[in-house]
Amino acid sequence: MAEVLKVDVITLFPQMLAGFLGESMMKRASEAGLVEFRLINPRDFTTDKHNTTDDRPFGGGPGMLMKPEPLFAAVESVHTPQSHVILMTPSGKTFEQADARRLSIVHSHLIFICGHYEGVDERVREALVDEEISIGDYVLTNGVLSAVVIIDAVARLRPGVLGGGEIATEDESFSSGLLEHPQYTRPPEFRGMKVPEILFSGDHGKIAQWRHDQAVQRTMERRIDLLENERENSKNNP
């Protein structure tokens, strides 16, 4: 049996994750013992009567910063030598499919720190964090939503998580450097729109070529940057 992927999420808003973890693929993966989730609230590690987790930044400025003490205590309560700590932040590396595959293969324990307010005290970055990740060039109210994106992308690549009609393959968008080709299912005709005849031919070679050509065309139309990146990679890795 595949090694269990352990995922700890440190957040002030654990209930935001309840629906996500209790439905569909994540629920099945958890029940099957393939992924183990724990939600950790930094407020549980505060020492004052108000359970304070934030304070004003030194030097002035807008907003509040998450204090280091509760975050250090929360991370250290679950950290092991196998842990990989990820801070969700707009200033991190932009997440890609290659990162999802790397995280799913290399690590067995992921700890997500979900910031809030104006972010976290810099000492959290310096002493606790192994990797900083962003899901795009925009700002959210907190890091939970972005952590959900990473967890979903990583967990689905773990052995046994997907099954039946939900098999993760190299044909998926971004796995091969191209967007995914068009896909069709029954009925063969719907409101005058017909499935391409090539898909009924039974000629797997021709079908594979059609799918590749369609993927290239779609990528050129929608994400030409992916093709340019692929050419650059090929040039650097002959």
Residues in binding site: 115, 135-140
Q: How far is CA 17 from the centre of its chain?
A: 14
Strand duo 189-190 + 193-194: pairing: antiparallel
Binding site for S-adenosyl-L-methionine, by residue number, is 115, 135-140
Which of 29, 63, 64 has the alpha carbon at shortest distance from 168? 29
Q: List the Cα angle 97/103/107 in 5-degree steps.
A: 170
Q: How far apart are the first and last CA of the chain?
A: 37
Q: By the 8 A CB rule, do 69 and 122 touch?
A: no
Q: Is 33 helix (H, G, I), strand (E, B) or coil?
A: coil
Q: How far apart (Å, rounded) are the C-alpha atoms in residues 85 and 40? A: 14
Q: By the 8 A CB rule, do 164 and 33 touch?
A: no
Buried b (16+ CB within 10 A) or exposed e, 52-67: ebbeeeeeeeeeebbb
